[in-house]
Amino acid sequence: MTTLLIKTLRDICGAAHVLTEAADIEPYATDWKRTTRGKPLCVVRPADCQAVAAVVKACRSHSASIVPQGGNTGLAAGATPGEDADEVVLSLTRMKAIRALDPVAMTVEVEAGAILQVVKEEAEKHGRLLPVSLAAEGSATIGGIVSTNAGGINVLRYGMTRALVLGLEVVLSDGTIVDGLRHLRKDNAGYDWKQVFVGAEGTLGIVTAAVLRLVPLPRETVTALLSVADVGTALTLFALAQDTVGEALSAFELISATSIDLVERHAGLKSPIAAGEWYLLLEAASSLSGLEPAMEKLLSDAFEQGLALDGVVASSRQQAQALWELREHVTEAEAREGGGLKHDISVPLGAMADFLAEAGNAVSEICPGAGFNIFGHLGDGNLHYNVLLNGAKNADAVNRAVHDAVVNHRGSISAEHGIGRYRLSEWLRTKPESEQRLSRAIKQAIDPEGLFNPGKLLPKQAKGDAV
Amino acid sequence: MTTLLIKTLRDICGAAHVLTEAADIEPYATDWKRTTRGKPLCVVRPADCQAVAAVVKACRSHSASIVPQGGNTGLAAGATPGEDADEVVLSLTRMKAIRALDPVAMTVEVEAGAILQVVKEEAEKHGRLLPVSLAAEGSATIGGIVSTNAGGINVLRYGMTRALVLGLEVVLSDGTIVDGLRHLRKDNAGYDWKQVFVGAEGTLGIVTAAVLRLVPLPRETVTALLSVADVGTALTLFALAQDTVGEALSAFELISATSIDLVERHAGLKSPIAAGEWYLLLEAASSLSGLEPAMEKLLSDAFEQGLALDGVVASSRQQAQALWELREHVTEAEAREGGGLKHDISVPLGAMADFLAEAGNAVSEICPGAGFNIFGHLGDGNLHYNVLLNGAKNADAVNRAVHDAVVNHRGSISAEHGIGRYRLSEWLRTKPESEQRLSRAIKQAIDPEGLFNPGKLLPKQAKGDAV
pLDDT of residue A416: 97
Q: In this structure, is residue B260 part of a structural domain?
A: yes
Residue A410 to residues A337, A404, A457, B170, Cα–Cα distance (Å) = 32, 10, 20, 17
Closest CA to A399 of A430, A433, A369, A438: A430
Q: In this structure, is residue B371 part of a structural domain?
A: yes
Across the 467 residues of chain A, what is the mean pLDDT of every consecutive 10-residue run? Answer: 93 98 96 92 98 98 97 96 95 98 97 98 97 96 98 94 98 98 98 98 98 96 97 97 94 98 97 97 94 94 97 95 97 94 97 98 96 97 96 93 98 98 97 98 97 97 54
Same-domain status, A224 and A318: yes
Same-domain status, A84 and A110: no
* Domain CATH code at residue A57: 3.30.43.10
Q: In this structure, is residue A113 part of a structural domain?
A: yes
Contact predicate A213/A129, CB 8 Å: no
Contact predicate A298/A277, CB 8 Å: no
DSSP state of B218: P
Residue B464 has pLDDT above 70, yes or no: no
Closest CA to B154 of B279, B252, B294: B252
pLDDT of residue A391: 87
Return the C-alpha torsion angle B263, B268, B269, B274, nearest 10: 80
Residue burial A81-116, b: 16+ Cβ < 10 Å; e: rest: bbeeebbbbbbbbbbbeeeebbbebbbbbbbbbbbb
Closest CA to A215 of A263, A250, A175, A241: A250
Rounded Cα–Cα distance for residues B416 and B153 (Å): 11
CB spacing of A199 vs B180 below 8 angstroms? no
Rounded Cα–Cα distance for residues A439 and A424 (Å): 13
Identity of the residue numbered A120: K
Same-domain status, B46 and B12: yes
Same-domain status, A178 and A287: no
Same-domain status, B114 and B205: yes
Return the C-alpha torsion angle A269, A273, A277, A278, nearest 10: -80
Residues of chain B with Cβ-Cβ distance to A193 below 8 Å are: 435, 438-439, 442
Residue B201 to residues A195, B275, B279, B380, B422, Cα–Cα distance (Å) = 16, 40, 33, 22, 12
* Residues in contact with A344: Cβ distance below 8 Å, sequence separation at least 6, in sequence order: A75, A382, A384, A385, A414, A415, A416, A417
Same-domain status, A290 and A261: yes
Contact predicate A355/A407, CB 8 Å: no
Contact predicate A205/A452, CB 8 Å: yes
Of B91, B123, B140, which one is at a domain's C-terminal end?
A: B91
Q: In this structure, is residue A398 part of a structural domain?
A: no
List the single best residue of A102, A126, A288 to mutate versus B (max B Cβ within 10 A). Answer: A288
Rounded Cα–Cα distance for residues B326 and B299 (Å): 20
Across the beta sheet with B249-256, what order do the strands follow? B310-313, B220-228, B278-286, B249-256, B371-377, B382-388, B344-346
CB spacing of B127 vs A243 below 8 angstroms? yes
* Domain CATH code at residue A302: 3.30.70.2190
- Helices B231-244 and B291-304: crossing angle in degrees, nearest 10, is 140
Same-domain status, B361 and B390: yes
Rounded Cα–Cα distance for residues A359 and A390 (Å): 18
Residue B61 has pLDDT above 60, yes or no: yes
- Angstroms from B420 CA to nearest CA on chain A: 9
Count the domains in chain A. 3
pLDDT of residue B463: 52
Same-domain status, A201 and A225: no
Q: In this structure, is residue B451 part of a structural domain?
A: no
Same-domain status, B302 and B203: no
Residue B244 to residues A102, B117, B300, B304, Cα–Cα distance (Å) = 17, 31, 11, 14
Closest CA to A173 of A204, A202, A196, A207: A204
* Angle A87-A92-A95 from CA coordinates, rounded to 5°: 155
Q: State the DSSP H helix or E strand holding residue A100, giving kind and residue range, or none if neither.
A: strand A98-102
Rounded Cα–Cα distance for residues A278 and B272 (Å): 55
Same-domain status, A270 and A177: no
Closest CA to B66 of B48, B54, B74, B76: B54
| φ, ψ dihedrals at A250, nearest 5° | -115, -15
Q: In this structure, is residue A287 part of a structural domain?
A: yes
B373-413 pLDDT, tens digit each: 999 999 999 999 999 998 888 999 999 999 999 999 999 99
Contact predicate A393/A410, CB 8 Å: no
B66-125 pLDDT, tens digit each: 999 999 999 999 999 999 999 999 999 999 999 999 999 999 999 999 999 999 999 999
10 Å CB burial of residue A425 (0-12, 13-18, 19+) is middle
Of A331, A350, A371, which one is at a domain's C-terminal end?
A: A331
CB spacing of A190 vs B457 below 8 angstroms? yes
CB spacing of A438 vs B193 below 8 angstroms? yes
A326-344 pLDDT, tens digit each: 999 999 999 999 999 999 9
**Count of C-beta atoms within a 10 Å radius of residue B100:** 15
Hey, CA dihedral for A361, A367, A369, A372, is it positive or negative?
Answer: negative
Q: In this structure, is residue A426 part of a structural domain?
A: no
CB spacing of A189 vs B423 below 8 angstroms? yes
Same-domain status, A204 and A235: no
Closest CA to B93 of B37, B150, B139, B41: B139
B147-191 pLDDT, tens digit each: 999 999 999 999 999 999 999 999 999 999 999 999 999 999 999
Contact predicate A467/A440, CB 8 Å: yes
Rounded Cα–Cα distance for residues B456 and B448 (Å): 15
List the single best residue of B191, B296, B436 to mutate versus A (max A Cβ within 10 A). Answer: B191
List the single best residue of B172, B247, B354 to mutate versus A (max A Cβ within 10 A). Answer: B247
Residue B310 belongs to what domain range? 220-331
Q: In this structure, is residue A225 part of a structural domain?
A: yes
Residue B467 has pLDDT above 80, yes or no: no
Rounded Cα–Cα distance for residues A288 and B297 (Å): 11
pLDDT of residue A466: 46
Beta bridge partners of A119: none
10 Å CB burial of residue A315 (0-12, 13-18, 19+) is exposed
Same-domain status, A259 and A326: yes
Residue B449 to residues A144, A190, B80, B388, B463, Cα–Cα distance (Å) = 35, 19, 20, 41, 7
Q: Strands, DSSP E only, in B183-334?
A: 206-213, 215-216, 220-228, 249-256, 278-286, 310-313
CB spacing of A287 vs B178 below 8 angstroms? no
Residue B412 to residues A48, A180, B403, Cα–Cα distance (Å) = 26, 11, 8
CB spacing of B191 vs A438 below 8 angstroms? yes
Of A216, A247, A275, which one is at a domain's C-terminal end?
A: A216
* Domain CATH code at residue A142: 3.30.465.10
ipTM computed for the complex: 0.97
